[in-house]
């Protein structure tokens, strides 16, 4: 049964992805015109999105042509089965899918599936895993600089304990965190300076309005000779 998937808006403007697909088409049809190759490339991109719905939550799918056509293009009767087989081949050549066999049955896995989809609660896969050594060698060969999530996907295709499965899922769903030492943490969040204490201004003589001299509990006006308690005179 096909599954709901999301499409990142940047998918359509991903030039690197487009060139890889176009390269796969030209490798398969070296004598065809540029226009033909561009047309096939456009169809393969749409077919690739449809294939996401055929795959389980780990990117694995049954490589059954009739099943795939029924889930991706049931009404495109103008296209023969060989055309869909050709599009799968283009995806394989351009390293978008990895095809493998298990007990004489053919399966596929969408590479970097987790770059396109965020799976919060993945349903356990019912499909067999690719040969671990072959798959690992393939990933290291073709994705040497961008294989972090692919390798995490590879881990999930293995049989893990419940604890290991939770840890791997956490690696996928949570961004990496940088932990700071106590000294770095203090530099990042410095202690704010203490607020200055309130200091009242000078007190002025009520008669001549000039500053009065401080005499402890009282204030004295040198002009008028008035001496009063501090409580009786307002601050400036």
Give me the CATH number covering residue 210. 2.20.70
In a domain, 19, yes or no: yes
- Domain count for the chain, please give it: 2
At 151 the pLDDT is 53
Please indicate, yes or no, whether residues 228 and 138 belong to a single structural domain of this protein: no
Q: Are residues 71 and 158 in the same domain?
A: yes
Residues in the chain: 236
Within a domain: 149: yes
Three-state SS at 24? helix
In this structure, the answer to whether residues 106 and 150 fall within a common structural domain is yes
Range of the domain at 56: 9-118+127-173
- Same structural domain for residues 215 and 112? no
Mean pLDDT, the chain cut into blocks of 10 residues (236 residues total): 72 86 91 92 92 86 92 90 94 90 90 74 81 71 56 55 66 52 54 64 74 76 77 67
pTM for the structure as a whole: 0.57
Q: 159 and 207 share a domain?
A: no
Residue 204 DSSP one-character state: B
- Whether residue 82 is contained in a domain is answered as yes
Looking at residue 150, what is its pLDDT? 54
What is the per-residue pLDDT for 194?
73
d(CA 212, CA 205): 6
């Amino acid at each position: 049964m096909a599954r709901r998937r999301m499409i990142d808006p940047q998918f359509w403007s991903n030039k690197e992805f487009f060139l890889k697909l176009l390269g796969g088409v030209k490798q398969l049809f070296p004598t065809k015109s540029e226009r033909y190759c561009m047309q096939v490339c456009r169809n393969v991109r749409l077919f690739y999105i449809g294939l996401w719905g055929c795959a389980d939550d780990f990117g694995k799918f049954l490589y059954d042509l009739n099943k795939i056509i029924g889930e991706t293009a049931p009404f495109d009767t103008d296209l023969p089965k060989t055309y869909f087989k050709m599009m799968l081949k283009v995806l394989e050549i351009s390293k978008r899918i990895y095809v493998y066999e298990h007990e004489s049955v053919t399966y596929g896995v969408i590479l970097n599936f987790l770059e396109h989809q965020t799976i919060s609660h993945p349903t356990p896969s019912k499909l067999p895993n690719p040969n671990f050594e072959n798959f690992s060698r393939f990933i290291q060969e073709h994705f040497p600089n961008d294989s972090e999530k692919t390798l995490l996907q590879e881990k999930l295709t293995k049989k893990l304990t419940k604890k290991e499965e939770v840890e791997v899922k956490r690696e996928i769903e949570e961004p990496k965190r940088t932990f700071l030492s106590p000294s770095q943490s203090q530099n990042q969040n410095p202690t704010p300076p203490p607020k200055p204490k309130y200091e009242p201004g000078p007190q002025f003589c009520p008669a001549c309005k000039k500053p009065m001299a401080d005499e402890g509990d009282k204030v004295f006006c040198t002009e008028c000779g008035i001496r009063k308690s501090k409580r009786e005179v307002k601050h400036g």
